[in-house]
Amino acid sequence: MKIKADLMIIDNNAKYICERKLKVKPILNYYGCGEIPNDERQYTEIKASCPVCRAAGVRADLASGAREFKCCPICGINLDWRVYLKKEKKLRRKIELWRTQFKKQKVSK
C-alpha cells in the first residue's frame, strides 16, 4: 500500500501548527471478460475498495469511484484517484472501440 503524505507548516505569531494529510491509492479490482482487441488483460469493469478498511476486514466498496468519494465513507482516509481515473478512461476507450467493431461486424453480416 502506497501512502502519500503532505506536510503543511503555518507560521502564526511564531506558533507552528503542523497538519499532515495522508492519501492512499484505492485497490482496483477488475471484473468481466469482454473480447477487447489487443488487450493483455481483458476486463470490462473496474471497481475500487479502500485499502485501510480492507486491511481491517471491513468491506468499503467505492462503487461510484472518484466522482463521489474524496475520502472513504467508513474510515475517513483521503483517497488518491489519479491511477484509477487514468485506467478508467483507457478502459472506456477500449469498450467503445469494441462496441463499434461489434456493430460493424453485425451490419456486414
Kindly list the domain boundaries of the chain, sorted by start residue: 3-108
Distance CA 70, CA 84 (A): 13
In this predicted model, which residue has the larger pLDDT, 106 or 18?
Answer: 106
Q: Mean pLDDT throughout 14-22?
A: 61
Q: Mean pLDDT throughout 79-83?
A: 82
pLDDT of residue 104: 78
Q: Where are the beta strands (DSSP E) in 1-109?
A: 3-12, 15-24, 27-31, 45-49, 78-79
Distance CA 14, CA 50 (A): 38
% residues pLDDT > 90 (the chain) = 0
